[in-house]
Amino acid sequence: MRTAMEVGRIGSAELKDLVAGGSTLDLVFPVASLARLAALSPSAGHETSLRASLSFQSAAEGYSQVFPQVHVRVSGAVDLACQRCLQPLVLPVAIDALLTMVSSEEQAAELADPFDTVLLEDGELAPAQVVEDEVLAGLPLAPRHSDETSCGRDARMISGETHRPMAGLADLFGRGDRQGEE
């Protein structure tokens, strides 16, 4: 498992080797290292990280040439501010995308699905940028806790109340045990 810092950009020669070998890179990105995601996080991304797996393969249907592809899988979580109560919200991330690597917009236009592409700069791939782009694209427009009772200060009061019946249940079981001993 390599961290994102050690990888930076993948040069065109290494990229060619990765594609030829059908290799997989396993990377860890602290959310704090991804500026655009960290900007959305109340903790500046210091509490969460993303695990990414990039699998390289050749093949992809262009009209004039074969393009390399990268299968991007990302898991982990990002912390965001709930848009209802502005309190932290941890959003699980699970991304599975097959992207075709192209060197120009013209090449992307050749493909059946020109949207699932990564544009290489000078033949180089920037894994952090790819991962961040994919995660950003998958975020809800207005992230919120699943229901209002999970939000803010009131939530603690309400959840306190909902815990009481469980405590009552525990008492019931406790009595049941004691009865069993008698």
Q: Does 145 bind Zn ion (CB under 5 A)?
A: yes
Q: How far is the CB of 25 from Zn ion (least distance, A)?
A: 36
CB 117 within 8 A of CB 111: yes
Which position has the token pair 């999970």? 150
Tell which one of 25, 84, 88, 97 touches Zn ion (CB under 5 A). Answer: 84
Q: Does 85 bind Zn ion (CB under 5 A)?
A: yes
Q: How far apart (Å, rounded) are the C-alpha atoms in residues 96 and 82? A: 25
Q: Which of residues 99-138 bind Zn ion (CB under 5 A)?
A: none
Closest CA to 50 of 162, 146, 120, 127: 127
Q: Which of residues 146-165 bind Zn ion (CB under 5 A)?
A: 151
Q: How far is the CB of 182 from Zn ion (least distance, A)?
A: 48
Q: How far is the CB of 37 from Zn ion (least distance, A)?
A: 19
Which stretch in 35-43, 52-60, 74-82, 169-177 sits in contact with Zn ion by CB under 5 A? 74-82
Closer residue to Zn ion, CB minimum distance, 157 or 166: 157
Sequence-distant (≥ 6) Cβ neighbours of residue 126 within 8 angstroms: 8, 9, 10
Closer residue to Zn ion, CB minimum distance, 9 or 84: 84
Closer residue to Zn ion, CB minimum distance, 74 or 82: 82
Q: What is the DSSP pairing of strand 88-102 with strand 117-119?
A: parallel
Closest CA to 70 of 109, 27, 108, 125: 125
What is the distance, to the nearest Å, from the Cα of residue 102 to the centroid of all Cα atoms in its chain?
23
Which stretch in 30-38, 41-49, 52-60, 142-150 sits in contact with Zn ion by CB under 5 A? 142-150
Q: Does 88 bind Zn ion (CB under 5 A)?
A: no
Which position has the token pair 């020669």? 13
Residues of the shown chain interacting with Zn ion in the complex, contacts defined by CB under 5 A: 82, 84-85, 145, 151
